[in-house]
Amino acid sequence: MPFIAVSQSAEIPATAIVYLPAWWKIAILIAVLLELTGISFFIKKKWLENQEALPVKVALTLMFMVFSIYFLVGTVLYWGSPKDERAPLLMWLILFIIPVSVQYSLTLVNALSWRGVQRLTPVGTKIPEAPAIIQTRLLLQAGKITEAQDVLTELFQDRSRALEFTAHWFREEGNYEKAASLLEELIELPVKDPDFWSEAAYSLGKLYESFLNQPLKTMSLFQRIAAECPGSRFCSLAEADLARLRLIYSDQGESDTVAVPAVPGSDSEFWERRRVLLRRQMPPASSAADQPKEAPTDIRQ
């Protein structure tokens, strides 16, 4: 009997023992967390391909999905466990959800911050085009030109503005052929704004002249600007460049097919007369070559 007394005195109350839940319950919680984290990471990665940050609605939806599924699984495991295992199981439920809560809280803060950046000033000035511009640049970098132009067309409500923005981006990147092709498509559209159209056509002419070495196309385009948009601000620039190019390429016979049109109210006649006067003042190339060269004088004499 002394042995029984000692064994009874050495017993520990059952309420003082912290039982760990069964290992398969911990494994279920870890598997659920890993699966939810992987799914949300894939959704965020696909969404951020065309966006700078997640919208607030998307961030809240991801948080609701992850926490609702996690708490649903945790509730089933909690109420399906014996009473002596519920306390440690609840502890593990809370420990596992802490890093997930921190991660999704940062995601939500990032989404709220990005939304706040769109309203910069105290009066609430909104910049709705910023996400679209960023999305367009990302699409252009990925080579998705058609998708980028669709986004810009929806933003500007104008196809010509979308083409001009895309051509400007390709010009900055050094792809002058692609920029020229986009501007060529632009100038074939109906002219709604003469200043905008003449600026785009003039930019295309400078691309022809400076980077693509196509002087005939340049002169033809400048002639078209002078004829179709005589009152635009780029008309005088086009006429001046046209007269300069005709003067440069006149000796080669390349500018004979391109004539400056006599547009009423423009300065084309003035530049034509100026070109003729300059040609008259220039000495013939043959006479200058036939003149004997004078012997150099010795300054030491």
Is residue 98 exposed (0-12), middle (13-18) or buried (19+ Cβ within 10 Å)? Answer: exposed
Lowest mean pLDDT among 78-92, 183-197, 216-230: 78-92
Domain assignment present for residue 155? The answer is no
Q: How far is CA 286 from CA 55, 125, 201, 204, 289, in A?
A: 74, 68, 38, 37, 5
Report, as an integer, the average pLDDT of 91-119. 75
Domain that holds residue 222: 191-280
Domain assignment present for residue 272? The answer is yes
Can you give the pTM of this predicted structure? 0.45
pLDDT digits (tens, 9 = 90+) for 181-213: 999 999 998 878 888 898 999 999 999 988 888
Domain assignment present for residue 202? The answer is yes
Between helix 23-47 and helix 83-117 the angle, nearest 10°, is 10
Q: How far is CA 170 from CA 164, 167, 279, in A?
A: 10, 5, 39
Domain assignment present for residue 252? The answer is yes
Confidence (pLDDT) at 18? 44
Domain assignment present for residue 290? The answer is no
Same domain (yes/no): 19, 110: yes
Q: Is the pLDDT of residue 301 over 80?
A: no
Domain assignment present for residue 178? The answer is no
- Residue 17 CB-half CA count within 13 A: 10
The residue out of 55, 90, 117 marking a domain boundary is: 117
Domain assignment present for residue 236? The answer is yes
Same domain (yes/no): 113, 195: no
Confidence (pLDDT) at 184? 92
Domain assignment present for residue 88? The answer is yes
Report, as an integer, the average pLDDT of 15-29. 63
The residue out of 117, 135, 159 marking a domain boundary is: 117
pLDDT digits (tens, 9 = 90+) for 248-261: 876 555 444 444 44
The residue out of 92, 117, 142 marking a domain boundary is: 117
Q: How many independent structural domains does the chain possess?
A: 2
